[in-house]
Amino acid sequence: MKTRHIALLLGLCALMLTPGCIRNDIPYPVVPLEILGIEGEGFTCTVRDIDPVTHTATLQLEETTDIARVTITGITLTEGAEPSRPLTGTFDLRSPLYVTLSLYQDYDWTIRAEQTVERSFRVAQQVGETEFDLKNRIARARVPEGEVDLTDVHVTELKLGPRDITTIDPPKEELTDFTSVRYVEVSYHDVRERWSLYVTPTDVTVQLTGADAWTSVIWLSGTGLSGTEMGFRYRKAGDETWLEVPDVTVTGSTFTARLAAEPETEYQVLAYSGDKQTDPLTVRTQEARQVTNSGFEDWCSVDDIIYPYAPDASPYWGTGNVGASLGSAVLTDKTTDTRPGSEGLYAARLESKTVIGKFAAGNLFIGKYAATRGTNGIITFGAPFTCRPTGLRIWVKYTQGSINKIDKVPAGVTIQQGDPDTGIVYIALGTWTAEEYGYTEDKGVPTRFGTDESPICIDTRNVNTFFKPDGKDVVAYGEQLMTSTVGEWTQYTIPLDYRTTAVVPTHIMIVCSASRYGDYFTGSTDSRMWVDDFELLYE
């Protein structure tokens, strides 16, 4: 019997060792592998230049950097990630650099370079701006027809390559006859280029190139004949008298102005240069729109969870109350402690707490609470909005606690137990889409939580989904930090810093948190914030 038992055991062992019978049921964790930072010579690479969605890192080269010899001295990757090739040294980035980062899974990344070279070609009595065709290396300046001798043109500016290291042959002093195209040889680094320069007569000496109507301002831009008086005139639609737009800024043959206006009003505007003017253009200013429930008067309770909107209303403001309800906690609720002079009955009170052993900041945001994963929340930020306010006026009270909960901290930030907590209210306008900002890895599968209405997905399990104020699709941003206790209701104005005035936003977000780093599960359970009567400004 004993021999038989041994033989049976050996047979079982042999069966278990047969390759077709081996099983590995241990799941590998899903760890997104990313490029977190790149350092080197002659370029910058900030957070906004690294896109975790498209897995692309873009180096912003200085004008004089040789794109064929870019030196990378250091690169920061997700801990444990192994690159498929060396990433330090000197690289030719006229073509992208491709690399695979590996740990439990493989992630393909692209390192590319962008370089902006400022070029100029200007002549005396020029009309409008020079047109550049970079692909075909053509520059074209225009002068008034019949008023300039093309055999004796004075070139005032000529820069066709990086500053200080570019030579042009022949130099601008020898370029006078433009009865036909003039060719110049441009040299820098190992680059040799042949450019074609044109000076072309035109009978159009003034143009209204822009009339961007906001709510209380119209941004005007035009081109004209350099050396003449240039400006704008305006009138309300239906008025007889044309008025002069004040404070026009003239640069060469371009001119701009800011016209104060009334909301939801039609205006006619025109540009002039010398005795020539454009046809009138009719524009209409936008409404002075406010965000929904800006006084925090509307609240409801569903399944014992408190929401900051009326029972029959569509969700607009969101909170972390859904996730906190797993621990029977309420982070954000209405309060009758309203700001002085308020016509309303309620304000919002935000309280940071520990919920099921994990820190949760008192919070309030435009968006929705989308899902709970364990003790982590997935939320979406934003609501449709196409107006362009200049700021946000808020009423706030704040009780500052000492930090007693630390989980994670942002890169470059040092936080210790006992440090003072910080509250924050911030506002952003942008052109975010759910296709680009609405996804996160959920149970190992890319899943979209963002919607057309609320496009930005924030997953507290993944810091790479956290909102970046300097992100590429941010049109304007402003914030108010609460760095000490403010015991009485106090009014603050948060100015909006517009990265560009040429882009119309598609969405707005406003976020309030009693603990600034609550999304990192770090803060103080003694921090409290009260907010009331938000007002978008259009000044």
User: What's the pLDDT band for 21 if we cut at 50, 70, 90?
Assistant: very low
Q: What would the mean pLDDT of 233-237 be, rounded to a whole number? A: 96
Mean pLDDT of 218-226: 95
Confidence class of residue 444 from pLDDT cuts 50, 70 and 90? Answer: confident
Instruction: Report residue 9's pLDDT band, with 50, 70 and 90 as the boundaries.
Output: very low
Q: Is the pLDDT at 229 greater than 50, yes or no?
A: yes
| pTM of this structure | 0.74
Q: Name the nearest CA neighbour of 363 among 511, 517, 477.
A: 511
Residue spans per domain, the chain: 35-115, 120-202, 207-284, 300-537
* Contact call for residues 140 and 130 (beta carbons, < 8 A): yes
Report the C-alpha gap between 69 and 520 in whole angstroms: 39
- Mean pLDDT on 50-66: 93
Q: Quick one: CA torsion of 413, 416, 417, 418, rounded to 10 degrees?
A: -90
Q: How far from the centroid of its chain's Cα atoms is residue 464's Cα? A: 14
Q: Which one of 1.50.10.10, 1.10.10.10, 3.40.50.150, 2.60.40.10 gives the CATH number of domain 207-284? A: 2.60.40.10
The pLDDT value recorded for residue 84 is 97
Number of H helices, E strands in the chain: 3, 45
Cβ(63)–Cβ(163) below 8 Å: yes
Choose between 22 and 340: higher pLDDT.
Answer: 340
Is the pLDDT at 11 greater than 60? The verdict is: no
Q: What is the pLDDT of residues 134-155, one digit of tens each?
A: 999 999 999 999 999 999 999 9
Question: How many degrees, rounded to 5, is the angle at CA 335 between CA 512 and CA 467?
Answer: 10
Grade residue 30 by pLDDT with cuts at 50, 70 and 90: low
pLDDT in tens, 253-265: 999 999 999 999 9
CATH class label, 35-115: mainly beta
Beta strands in 460-514 (DSSP E): 474-482, 486-495, 497-498, 507-513
Placement of tokens 């002085």 in the chain: 340
Report DSSP letters for 79-130, one per residue.
Answer: TT-EESS--SEEE-TTS-EEEEEESSSEEEEEEEEEE----EEEETT-EEEE
**pLDDT digit string (tens) for 170-212?**
999 999 999 999 999 999 999 999 999 999 999 999 999 999 9
pLDDT, residue 25, reads 53
Domains 120-202 and 207-284 share a fold: yes
Residue 15 has pLDDT above 80, yes or no: no
What is the three-class DSSP state of 468? coil
Residues above pLDDT 90, as percent of the chain:
85
What confidence tens digit (pLDDT) does each residue in 349-381 have? 999 999 999 999 999 999 999 999 988 899 999
pLDDT at 19 exceeding the cut of 80: no
Q: What is the pLDDT of residue 135?
A: 94
Instruction: Please check whether residue 293 is in contact with residue 306, taking contact to mean a CB–CB distance below 8 angstroms.
Output: no
pLDDT for the residue 315: 93
For 309-343, what is each residue's pLDDT tens digit? 999 999 999 999 999 999 999 999 999 999 999 99
Q: How far apart are CA 71 and CA 43, in angstroms?
A: 9
Flag whether pLDDT at 445 surpasses 90.
no
Q: What CATH number labels 120-202? A: 2.60.40.2340
Mean pLDDT of 535-539: 95
Give tens-digit pLDDT for 65-116.
999 999 999 999 998 999 999 999 999 999 999 999 999 889 999 999 999 9
Check pLDDT > 80 for residue 16: no
Overall average pLDDT of the 292-318 stretch: 95
* Number of CB atoms found within 10 A of residue 328's CB: 9
Q: Which CATH number does 300-537 carry?
A: 2.60.120.890
| pLDDT of 275 above 80 | yes
* CB count in 10 Å sphere of residue 170: 11
The least confident of 203-212, 405-414, 478-487 is 405-414
Answer whether residue 494 shows pLDDT above 70.
yes
- Whether 5 shows a pLDDT value over 80: the answer reads no
